[in-house]
Amino acid sequence: MNPRWPRRGLYAITPDEADTGRLLARVETVLRAGATWLQYRNKPASEDLRAEQALALQPLCRSFDVPLIINDDWALAAAIGAAGAHLGEDDGEIALARHELGPEAILGASCYDDAGLARQAVFAGASYVAFGAFFPSPTKPHARRATLDLLRTAAVLGVPRVAIGGITPDNARPLVEAGADLLAVISGVFDAPDPAAATRAYISCFEEPR
Ligand SMILES: Cc1ncc(COP(=O)(O)OP(=O)(O)O)c(N)n1
Ligand SMILES: Cc1nc(C(=O)O)sc1CCOP(=O)(O)O
Ligand SMILES: [Mg+2]
């Protein structure tokens, strides 16, 4: 992963937004407020809409110097020149994605509640490991649950640790204290009454306690 990308902060993940203009406006608000990384995720979208939206997000992310990471689809990431891709257990081989995207790409792996998966992912070329869900998630109510201990012990892997699942500004601090480098969030940001204020609240969790 290119060392120029920051490795700590809010990793905003897009909601399932069908209207591309509205998606761009919602994302711009969050980038302007200081989100560190952006993942494009839109599960119900068609292949064409995903390509259109990913392509539209690319110049916006570039203008804020924020890496754009494409969920599920390393080939789309490669096609639009995105900074990277995020793969879960059903989204293909990490090693193949690393080979195709090259050494500079950010390549994320979902590791759920499983330290073994995280070790394998790093061995195969993942640049970060994601654990979750830490809290009940409105977006993914049936997600497996992960523990703070898993987050702590994964320090040994030597790559950024991402926490995901039901994270709010009010429950995030213990995750950061347990070693989370990035907080990956959908609803807590994009369904907040004031997404810019929510973004700033997540970022403040990385500051020293007063
Ligand atoms: C940062 C991050 N962590 C985990 C996931 C979940 O990936 P996956 O299990 O493949 O589920 P979907 O997001 O594809 O529904 C993620 N997207 N991002
Ligand atoms: C996409 C996803 N993956 C999860 C995992 O545990 O792997 S939890 C999750 C949903 C995250 O959305 P929210 O911030 O709204 O809870
Ligand atoms: Mg996936």
**Over the stretch 42-90, which tens digit does the pLDDT of each residue have?**
999 999 999 999 999 999 999 999 999 999 999 999 999 999 999 999 9
Residue 89 within any structural domain of the chain: yes
Task: Indicate whether 193 pLDDT > 70.
Answer: yes
Cβ atoms of residues 167 and 188 within 8 Å: yes
Residue 209 within any structural domain of the chain: no
Give, as one character, the DSSP assignment of residue 210.
-
pLDDT digits (tens, 9 = 90+) for 121-169: 999 999 999 999 999 999 999 999 999 999 999 999 999 999 999 999 9
Among 7, 26, 119, 140, the one annotated catalytic: 140
Alpha carbon separation from 170 to 13, 48, 90, 198 (Å, rounded): 18, 37, 31, 10
pLDDT value, residue 140: 97
Alpha carbon separation from 18 to 23, 44, 47, 52, 78 (Å, rounded): 8, 9, 12, 11, 22
Give, as one character, the DSSP assignment of residue 110.
E
CA distance 8 to 62: 18
CATH number of the domain to which 30 belongs: 3.20.20.70
Tokens of 33: 């407020």
Asked about 140 being catalytic, the answer comes back as yes
Among 50, 110, 127, 161, the one annotated catalytic: 110
ipTM over 0.85: yes
Q: What SS3 class is residue 6?
A: coil
140 annotated as a binding-site residue: yes
pLDDT value, residue 209: 61
Query: What separation in Å is there between the alpha carbon of 90 and the centre of ligand 1?
Result: 10
Cβ atoms of residues 67 and 84 within 8 Å: yes
The atom of ligand 2 lying closest to the CA of 184 is 14
pLDDT value, residue 151: 97
Nearest in space to 66 (alpha carbons), one of 13, 121, 19, 139: 13
Q: How many domains does the chain have?
A: 1
Mean pLDDT for the chain? 97
Query: What separation in Å is there between the alpha carbon of 92 and the centre of ligand 3?
Result: 9
Name which residue sits closest to atom 10 of ligand 1, judged by CA.
Answer: 88
Residue 92 within any structural domain of the chain: yes
Task: Indicate whether 100 pLDDT > 90.
Answer: yes
pLDDT digits (tens, 9 = 90+) for 5-18: 999 999 999 999 99
Residue 122 within any structural domain of the chain: yes
Residue 196 within any structural domain of the chain: yes
pLDDT value, residue 208: 73
Residue 14 within any structural domain of the chain: yes
Residue 4 within any structural domain of the chain: no
CA distance 6 to 103: 17
Task: Indicate whether 107 pLDDT > 60.
Answer: yes
**For residue 200, how far is the Cα from the chain centroid?**
17
Helix axes 47-63, 20-32, angle to 10 degrees: 30
pLDDT value, residue 210: 42
Name which residue sits closest to atom 11 of ligand 2, judged by CA.
Answer: 165
Domain that holds residue 46: 9-204
Cβ atoms of residues 161 and 180 within 8 Å: yes
Residue 84 within any structural domain of the chain: yes
91 annotated as a binding-site residue: yes
